[in-house]
Amino acid sequence: MASNGIKDRVAIVGMGCTPFGEHWDKGPEDLLVDAATEAYRSAGIDSEQVDAYWLGTMASGFSGLMLSEALKIPYKPVTRLENMCATGSEAIRNAAYAVACGAYDLVMAIGVEKLKDSGYSGLVGANPPNDGTLSSMTAPATFSLLAPAYAKKYGVEEGTLKQVLARIAWKNHKNGAKNPKAQFRKEVPIETICKSPPVAGMLGIFDCSGVSDGSAAAILCRAEDAHRYSKHPIFIKALSFAAGPAEGYYSQDYDFTTFPEVVASSRDAYRQAGVKDPRAEISMAEVHDCFTPTELVLMEDMGFSPRGKAWKDVLDGRFDGEGPQPVNPDGGLKSFGHPIGASGLRMMYEMWLQLRGEAGPRQIPEPKLGLTHNLGGAPGRCVSFVSVVGV
């Protein structure tokens, strides 16, 4: 029984990412073609060279045919997978294991989501036939539970906490403003964020991630082959995943100030990567800021801040684009947007750019290790993915 990891055995040698946003003129198949074409070009390969594909989408399509038909892939393995909002990261994880074990030489992980065709506000889930007793809580409602629980546990005034949450949104908008592919490319004043129309609990519109369309893709190979395709490959140091028993939905012990799934997956990832002190060793992170309190709690669950102190680190600017440990330098889910199946790959895309020095005005000086964190579900019942990557 072990989570051995595949440190430095797999490299990413090419990536592509569409702009995220309201693509009224493009369907999910168009987005897949755009992201895949960019990834092939980035790796300097022809599509025929790719041996197998992993396609992540939550609900924009079904089966590998969605990709093989769009890209006209001739009779190769295409796996379609889904793991809620962590779907894109699952595509990377499964593709990486396939090359690590030697089954294939060159593979693609690609994610896509088309959310803006539904005409609904927010995310819409489709349940299998059921008994009608499932919780009707929306995503912002479940995540909004974190805020008052955190404030109460650590004695933070609700007004102060509102400022902390607003600063997270403000920072991610500021980062997104420098990103040509982000859905929202405008800085938003703290006062506007605080005054935005209520969605759930303490959360206003500006505390929520962008509902958008988009796709992103990565080409992976074994580390020893990486330089055949890329002068500047990046290497996987850790891939970790945790699905919880939903303890928070049954047990009165759960207090809504932590994601045990994130604690478990980040601990495993650090062990795989040999990271002893994440606060000091992780240069930058793309984390699952689906709602502002999520990012706050993640900082503590992943060991970037001590328990009960992340709110101070946020106010001190520790996680700002120019801060000592930038978090969501590309704008995050908040500003880059959150097309579910693509988000995990979009996070990796920023690591790809940053580690190769290609992030333009957002470039973090000399990053060593980057982390992506992707979460699906709700506080108390979720799945969590953590990767560590470097050069």
Residues found near other proteins in the complex (CB under 8 A): 118-122, 124, 127, 129-133, 135-138, 140-142, 144-145, 148-149, 152, 197-201, 245-247, 249-252, 254, 256, 380
CB of 384: closest distance to other proteins in angstroms? 18
Decide whether 141 or 185 has the Cβ nearer to other proteins.
Answer: 141
Q: Considering 17, 23, 85, 290, which one is annotated as catalytic?
A: 85
Beta strand pairing call for 369-378 and 282-286: parallel
Cα–Cα distance, 148 to 217 (Å, whole number): 37
Q: Provide the minimum distance between the beta carbon of 59 and other proteins in the complex, in angstroms, as a whole number.
A: 12
Closer residue to other proteins, CB minimum distance, 11 or 85: 85
Pick the closer one to other proteins by CB: 347 or 378: 378
From the CB of residue 294, how many other CB atoms can be counted at a distance below 10 Å?
A: 25
Quick one: 87 or 142, whose CB is closer to other proteins? 142
221 labelled catalytic: no
Q: How far apart are CA 309 and CA 300, in angstroms?
A: 8
Q: How far is the CB of 234 from other proteins (least distance, A)?
A: 38
Identity at 374, one-letter amino acid code = N
Q: Is 338 among the residues known to form the active site? A: yes
**Least CB distance to other proteins at residue 248 (A):** 8
Give the residue with the Cβ less far from other proteins, 115 or 219: 115
Question: CB–CB of 96/185 below 8 Å?
Answer: no
Min separation Cβ 60 and other proteins, Å: 16
Query: What minimum distance in Å lies between the beta carbon of 122 and other proteins?
Result: 5
The C-alpha atoms of residue 4 and residue 299 are separated, in whole angstroms, by 25
What stretch of H or E contains 227? helix 226-229
Instruction: Out of 23, 173, 288, 338, pick the active-site residue.
Output: 338
| Of residues 180, 137, 154, 179, the one with CA closest to residue 291 | 137
DSSP string, 49-76: G--EEEEE-SSS--TTHHHHHHHT--S-
Strands 10-17 and 234-243: antiparallel
Helices then strands, each counted (H, E), the chain = 15, 11
| Spatial separation of the C-alpha atoms in residues 79 and 93, rounded to whole Å | 12
Q: Residue 111 or 379: which CB sits closer to other proteins?
A: 379
What is the distance between the alpha carbons of residues 310 and 300, in angstroms, rounded to a whole number?
A: 6
Question: Largest Cα–Cα distance of the chain, in whole Å?
Answer: 60
The CB-of-29 to other proteins minimum distance in angstroms stands at 24
209 or 215: whose CB is closer to other proteins? Answer: 209
Write the burial class of residue 119 (CB in 10 Å: 0-12 exposed, 13-18 middle, 19+ buried).
exposed
- Mapped onto helix, strand or coil, the DSSP state of residue 273 is helix
Residue 360 has what DSSP assignment? G
2 burial (CB, 10 Å; 0-12 / 13-18 / 19+) is exposed
* Residues classed as catalytic: 85, 338
